[in-house]
Amino acid sequence: MATGICAASLQMTVVCYGAFLLAGAYKKGYKRRMKASVITFPGSNCDRDMRTALEASGMEVHAVWHADSELPKSDLVVAPGGFSYGDYLRCGAVAAHSPIMREVKAHAEKGGLVLGVCNGFQVLCESGLLPGVLMRNRQLKFICKDVHLRVEETGSAFTAGYETGQVIRIPIAHHDGNYVIDEAGLAALEDNRQVAFRYVDAAGNAGDAANPNGSVANIAGIVNKQKNVLGMMPHPERAADLYTGNNDGAAMFAGLLDALSAA
């Protein structure tokens, strides 16, 4: 009985917190409620977490099935974490050919925002929306822990809520998060300031000891050249509420809301 009361109390608190944030969004003068779509693939397991984080930030969120042929009217489309299609062939390789991905590509080509987290990052790479590929972690083991990230650029809507060089703490949970790209591709990413986040230690130093999976140049997340598509292995939606003990990811969603309202 006590457990049920506590669960109900927590649920009510979360609902009220979301309503509070939404009210704050309107007080900021936003002319309309921003719209986001979160895709569910067979094997997705972070879609609900992402929807909750986006709703709490004040966005109107639609759930989209991978086999759908149309996207709802959306400012932001999210490919969430999980193990789409059981990670068969390669992580994200099958999901990249889901019917909805044609619409996601069209959305991105028109300048719409697209976010891929963990498995979603893998899907975006496999679909060609982002360069490079995610390979098996160098330890050949699944890794689940908090890591420190350094914000490398703030020129995109995804990172506008942070300061350049800011160190944040975000959880990771992956088996295939080792970002790989050839030398020419890496040089292009660096030259175009497409590296959004880099794995670092708590002091902000990027080195091998701070690299959890072997990713080239400690890369944790990148944007495309137009900076309207972001892929990252860490999970900001799991660090978007103080009830989880960490809300460093909340600034991403708040920044997105500000950027979308100004568009």
Active site residues: 118, 235, 237
Give 196's contacts (C-beta < 8 A, 6+ positions apart): 151, 152, 153, 156, 158, 159, 220, 221, 222, 223, 230, 232
Yes or no: say if 188 and 223 are a contact pair by the CB < 8 Å rule. no
| Strand arrangement, sheet containing 219-223 | 60-65, 35-40, 76-79, 113-117, 229-232, 219-223, 195-200, 143-151, 167-174
Per-residue three-class SS string for the chain: CHHHHHHHHHHHHHHHHHHHHHHHHHHCCCCCCCEEEEEECCCECCHHHHHHHHHHHCCEEEEEECCCCCCCCCCEEEECCECHHHHCCCCCCCHHHCCHHHHHHHHHHCCCEEEEECHHHHHHHHCCCCCCEEECCCCCCCEEEEEEEEECCCCCCCCCCCCCCCEEEEEEEECCCEEECCHHHHHHHHHCCCEEEEEECCCCCCCHHHCCCCCHHHEEEEECCCCCEEEECCCHHHHCEHHHCECCCHHHHHHHHHHHHHC
